[in-house]
Amino acid sequence: MTAPLLETHDLVKDYVIGGEVLHAVNGVSLTIKRGEFVAIMGASGSGKSTFMNMIGCLDVPTSGTLLLDGIDTKTLDSDALAEIRNRKIGFVFQQFNLLARTSALDNVAVPLIYAGLGYTERRERAQAKLEAMGLGNRLQNTPAKLSGGQQQRVAIARALVTDPLMLLADEPTGALDTQTSLDIMGIFQKLNDEGITLIVVTHEPDIAEYAERRIIFRDGRVIEDAAVKSRRRAVAG
């Protein structure tokens, strides 16, 4: 039996603001298995983004335990955390976060630079991921010459290029119109069907219904954690 992909025990993150301690995440224990499609919901300030940042190894917990692929992240230094972000996690952001004036191909290849791959292999892999996203004819376009949906698909290709264990998407549809949002969720469902674990942070209940499990945060705690009853499908198969 392999370890769960993600396991947290009494995870806490405190911020000190103006001399007062704010418990952004206040004792969260949960487990996410491989292959799950999880939506994390909550109002702003509920702690969902802070939780997301911690499981993405971008932020370190104040206390508690975070096991990622069986590894206790407390034991890792900043270089090891960087390596985990590079190899095991793919990030998708609300604002896409593509490098301006840089081609789609080069944007997707960035994580492979830090994985230590050579030029040719970087380009081949990046091109394959872009083609899988239906952007085979947009390789040399800079973000300014791509629509919002195309930019987000470039970002997804970038998140997938190191073949990570899980995709963390923080409000991935927040900057997109309804139809494009549905397209992106369709891509996520397809990826999930292919076996990748997906964790999507959103405040839109519709979007959460594309996931199979919904976790709701309030005041730094999990107040609901249940399977999505009437799950939506964006694309067939």
Interaction of residue 15 with other proteins, rule CB under 8 A: no
Q: Which of 125, 153, 158, 214 binds other proteins (CB under 8 A)?
A: 158
Q: Which of 8, 26, 46, 53 binds other proteins (CB under 8 A)?
A: 53
- 95 contacts 175 by C-beta, under 8 angstroms: yes
Q: Which of 18, 20, 44, 118 binds other proteins (CB under 8 A)?
A: 118
Q: Which is nearer to other proteins, 82 or 223 (CB)?
A: 82
Q: Which of 79, 179, 230, 236 binds other proteins (CB under 8 A)?
A: 79
How far is the C-alpha of 234 from the C-alpha of 186, rounded, in Å?
5
With contacts defined by CB under 8 A, name the span among 62-70, 96-104, 185-193, 221-229 that binds other proteins. Answer: 96-104
Interaction of residue 116 with other proteins, rule CB under 8 A: yes
Residue with tokens 């694309």: 235
Q: Which is nearer to other proteins, 46 or 189 (CB)?
A: 46
Interaction of residue 119 with other proteins, rule CB under 8 A: yes
With contacts defined by CB under 8 A, name the span among 15-23, 92-100, 185-193, 204-212 that binds other proteins. Answer: 92-100
83-114 in b/e burial notation, b at 16+ Cβ within 10 A? ebbbbbbbbbbbebebeeeebbbbbbbbbbee
Q: Which of 42, 47, 64, 111 binds other proteins (CB under 8 A)?
A: 111
Interaction of residue 83 with other proteins, rule CB under 8 A: yes
The sign of the CA dihedral 69, 117, 143, 150 is negative
Number of Cβ within 10 Å of residue 193's Cβ equals 12
Taking the complex as a whole, the smallest distance from the CB of residue 155 to other proteins amounts, in Å, to: 10
Residues lying near other proteins in the complex (CB under 8 A) are found at 53, 56, 58-59, 78-79, 82-83, 85-87, 91, 93, 97, 99, 101-102, 110-111, 113-116, 118-119, 158, 162
